[in-house]
A = this chain, B = another copy of it.
């Protein structure tokens, strides 16, 4: 690794116990001793955030966002100060900084605050003194001077925003996976660790089932051109670089296959094909914070159509009740749902100039006797909804068809 200024972010499992904290400190120390400057971002230890949430539920049925943020941010506070102590033990001078101290100014939207500005004066001062700043992830201070939390997974966003603010050469996101794979290695053992992936591809992958990193941080990185390196805090091997397409692209047309079994398919049938009908359905769902995904509307026959969409399993009951109320209002004939579905997606920036990918995907599924229930596409992605019990077969077949396995 060449020398430079790096942001290193460590997730909750990476610092899950004292032994892990010492292992992470050791890695940081080695990075520093190789001649790099390092800014560290750290999440709360292991399951601590969940434990704090449970404690809040035990104490009160009313949990104002301001107080939840004060509570939750105690988690990173512990991790960052302990990590600094472990660094001192290795002879590395390190100082912990809260989100506020690190200059993260946010809006007042507690529990899910947005960064307004990053003023990293104290971080830069520490760096200039040869010290390692260790910043609590997912934290900030609002324009009202209250402590704010950027939300679950917000430590990735902290790391990327800080990398941009201090003009770091790269932002390393250390996690419990080795990097980004061409598909889920639990389903396809020959899945290949991707050396490079583009921001657009990674965003599509994250949106369709790839667990890491948080989508928001990838969007931030893309907008600000922050080079990401997703890698393991357990094996420490090189992981996956995420950057601009033009610079980093692999040659393959299809880069990865993802899958997602967390959603239910809902269909409103016999919907009159009139302007405003779809809007009323999705406005009603959005009003109760149901996160609707993959909307498909068939072409109209005889002036009526079907609208299908997916919702998270946990939102099914609320969504069904809203849809059933709407059926009469909009003059539809009925609502149905199917939880036994799963989505398989192929992703690749090369698709833009290769229109044959969709046909290959549909042929592969057909050859394997897998029926396609819904289709949706973007410029670099094709998703098909299939029966849940055929999802592994679908992933394996598509991974094979597009030649993604390790050679």
Contacts and interface: CB of A to CB of B under 8 A. Distances in A.
Interface of A: 18, 21-22, 52, 55-56, 58-64, 66-68, 70-71, 73-75, 77-78, 80-82, 84-86, 88-89, 95-96, 98, 101, 122, 145, 147
Contacts of A66: 95-96
Contacts of A22: 59-60
A100 to B, nearest CB: 9
B74 A78 contact: yes
A58 B98 CA distance: 22
B71 A82 contact: yes
B59 A18 contact: yes
B60 A89 contact: yes
Contact of A71 (B81, B88, B145): B81
B85 A60 contact: yes
Given A62-B88, A62-B89, A89-B60, A78 B71 contact: yes
Given A18-B55, A18-B59, A89-B61, A81 B96 contact: no
B55 A67 contact: no
A144 to B, nearest CB: 10
Contacts of A59: 18, 21-22, 82, 85-86, 89
Contacts of A56: 81-82, 85
A86 to B, nearest CB: 5
Nearest to A88: B62
A218 to B, nearest CB: 30
